[in-house]
Amino acid sequence: MGSVLGVEQSGKATTMEPADFARMLAEEISLAKQPELRVLPPLPEVAVTEIFLPVDSHIPRDYVTDDHLRLEVYFQLANADNEDDLQELTERIGKLWGTPMPLKMVQFINLIEMKIYGKSLGISKIVADKPHILMDWDVAARTLQFLTSFLVDERDRDRFSIDSENGQITLRGMGLLAGDAQVAKLRSWLQIFDRCNREMREAESRTASSPFPGAGGQSS
């Protein structure tokens, strides 16, 4: 089985669930193994990520029947700051109104999760524009190349086309997929990118704070 850090992947990684694959990043990413991380430009910062995809996502009236409570659920979900908060809210909603949740509700939560990842990565907008999906993401080409190297399917990596001058990424052909498929793919990709970015920055921070030259996980 190939290393998760390699561009060429093989074996079980190709069928691994996104969450399991993301957890492997924490084990693999370190400045000792990846010295090129030291020179990767940081990601941009944005206040919010807007998402416009052709998917039916809302809280159905027959799931949360009380109008006041439904608006409160909308408000709390929309203001979730991180994955942990969103997970806690999702579990609480399931306990109060039952599981499995309606697909439209699940998709609404998926979009909120994507917005959390998008803000962390510095993506200001994701919009379907057939036959493609466009992302307003002023990311450096080298950083994007590194992040997309974690996608196990070469066909997925090949979808990314960068326009550095305009700060835009084109996901070629993604707009031809059904809305639910667009959400599923983008959500898994953004989750992997977010995990990778966090581990990368934490590794940088550990190295910067070390009082010993050359420290960063290497042992003698």
At residue 33, the pLDDT reads 53
3-class DSSP string for the chain: CCCCCCCCCCHHHHHCCHHHHHHHHHHHCCCCCCHHHHHCCCCCCCCCCEEECCCCCCCCCCCCCCHHHHHHHHHHHHCCCCHHHHHHHHHHHHHHHCCCCCHHHHHHHHHHHHHHHHHHHCEEEEEEECCEEEEEECCCHHHHHHHHCCCCCHHHHCCEEEECCCCEEEECCHHHCCHHHHHHHHHHHHHHHHHHHHHHHHHHHHHHHCCCCCCCCCCC
Mean confidence (pLDDT) of the chain: 84
Report the sign of the C-alpha dihedral through residues 180, 182, 188, 191, in that order: negative
Kindly report the number of other CB atoms within 10 A of residue 218's CB atom. 10
Q: What is the tens place of the pLDDT at every residue in 36-68?
A: 555 678 899 999 999 999 999 999 999 999 999
Q: Name which residue leads in pLDDT, 196 or 215.
A: 196
Q: Name which residue leads in pLDDT, 219 or 55.
A: 55
For the record, the structure tokens of 10 come out as 């093989």
Q: Percent of the chain scored above 90 by pLDDT?
A: 66
Domains along the sequence of the chain with CATH: 16-206 (3.90.1150.50)
pLDDT higher than threshold 70 for residue 22? no
3-class DSSP string for 42-92: CCCCCCCCEEECCCCCCCCCCCCCCHHHHHHHHHHHHCCCCHHHHHHHHHH
For the chain, how far is it from start to end, CA to CA, in angstroms? Answer: 27
Residue 158 near residue 122 (C-beta atoms within 8 A): no
pTM for the structure as a whole: 0.80
Residue in this structure with the two tokens 């450096």, named with its chain if needed? 140
Residues 6+ apart with CB under 8 A from 13: 1, 2, 4, 21, 24, 152
